């Protein structure tokens, strides 16, 4: 520990904090977009939509069975090739090489989290009482009305703790965005450490920042869970 420079770590800490907005941007936007696609996949699988249900199951299996870093590289190198192919097929004039690294990162993390969110949503929907949908239909509600007025609020409360874990996982997972040149917390840490070869100091800075962020997110979801569960009756 004689070579550990605490003053250096403290001095560089503000520079690491400057990367927090980018980390939160990637994690938050990916979570929201992933929710949209995850919801669609989960509904198709829950209500056994022909073809789409099988495709959704295959998609979830593939994403959950491959490393996140591999998915990032596939999207990073595969997207320009796909755009080139579409340009040739349809006569488009899209520039496949002018895409921002942030777009690749958001796309990769959205693809990844949508698979996990679909399973979370599907489990939450299946955990609600099955007879509630039949009861709602019997009083004249449509499937859509019953889903959003009765089933969804209950499923939301069930899924909320899991979403806290998903968001924390996304925050930590953004450290892989450096692979596509997105300058987030881990990228900033490596860049600074590479200049002075003070890797331990910078990694400790990064660890502290990630820990604080995840702790705050954890507390936020605990508060949300308490707020939305106030209506539930406390069992004696």
For residue 235, the model assigns a pLDDT of: 43
Q: Is residue 165 part of a domain?
A: yes
**The pLDDT of residue 2:** 60
Q: What is the mean pLDDT of residues 108-131?
A: 89
151-177 confidence digits (pLDDT tens): 877 888 888 889 999 999 999 999 999
Residue 70: is its pLDDT beyond 90?
yes
**Containing structural domain, residue 35:** 20-184
Cα Rg, the chain, nearest whole Å:
22
Find the CATH number of the domain harbouring 85. Answer: 1.10.3720.10
Assess if residue 166 is contained within a domain.
yes
DSSP assignments along 65-109, one per residue = TS-HHHHHHHHHHHHHHHHHHHHHHH-----TT---HHHHHHHHH
The token pair at 64 is 């959950």
Does 111 reside within a domain?
yes
Report the domain count for the chain: 1
Task: Using pLDDT thresholds of 50, 70 and 90, give the confidence band for residue 1.
Answer: low
Distance from the Cα of residue 108 to its chain's centroid: 10
Residue 25 lies in a domain: yes
Residue 196 lies in a domain: no
Residue 219 counted as domain residue:
no
* pLDDT value, residue 199: 92
- 13 within domain boundaries: no
pLDDT above 70 covers what percent of the chain?
Answer: 95
The 10s digit of each residue's pLDDT in 182-231 is: 999 999 999 999 888 889 999 999 999 999 999 999 999 999 888 877 65
Lowest-confidence pick of 27-36, 86-95, 207-216: 86-95
Provide CB contacts within 8 A for 139, sequence distance 6+: none
Has residue 205 been placed in a domain? no
Global pTM reads 0.88
Instruction: Give me the mean pLDDT over the 21-46 stretch.
Output: 95
Average pLDDT over residues 92-107: 91
Query: What pLDDT, on a 0 to 100 scale, did the predictor assign at position 230?
Result: 67
Calculate the average pLDDT of the chain.
89
């Amino acid at each position: 520990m004689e070579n550990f420079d605490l003053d250096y770590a403290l001095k560089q800490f503000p520079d690491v904090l400057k990367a927090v907005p980018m980390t939160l941007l990637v994690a938050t936007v990916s979570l929201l977009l992933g929710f949209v696609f995850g919801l669609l996949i989960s509904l198709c699988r829950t209500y056994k939509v022909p073809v789409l249900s099988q495709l959704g199951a295959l998609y979830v299996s593939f994403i959950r069975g491959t490393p996140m870093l591999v998915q990032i590289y596939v999207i990073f190198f595969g997207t320009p090739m796909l755009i080139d192919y579409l340009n040739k097929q349809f006569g488009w004039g899209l520039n496949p090489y002018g895409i921002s690294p942030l777009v690749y990162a958001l796309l990769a993390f959205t693809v990844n989290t949508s698979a996990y969110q679909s399973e979370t949503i599907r489990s939450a929907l299946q955990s609600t009482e099955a007879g509630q949908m039949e009861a709602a239909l019997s009083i004249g509600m449509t499937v859509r009305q019953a889903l959003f007025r009765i089933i969804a609020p209950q499923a939301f409360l069930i899924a909320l703790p899991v979403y806290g874990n998903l968001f924390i996982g996304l925050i930590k997972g953004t450290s892989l965005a450096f692979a596509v040149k997105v300058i987030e917390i881990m990228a900033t840490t490596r860049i600074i450490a590479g200049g002075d070869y003070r890797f331990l100091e910078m990694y400790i800075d990064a660890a502290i920042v990630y820990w604080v962020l995840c702790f705050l997110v954890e507390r936020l979801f605990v508060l949300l869970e308490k707020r939305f569960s106030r209506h539930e009756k406390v069992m004696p």
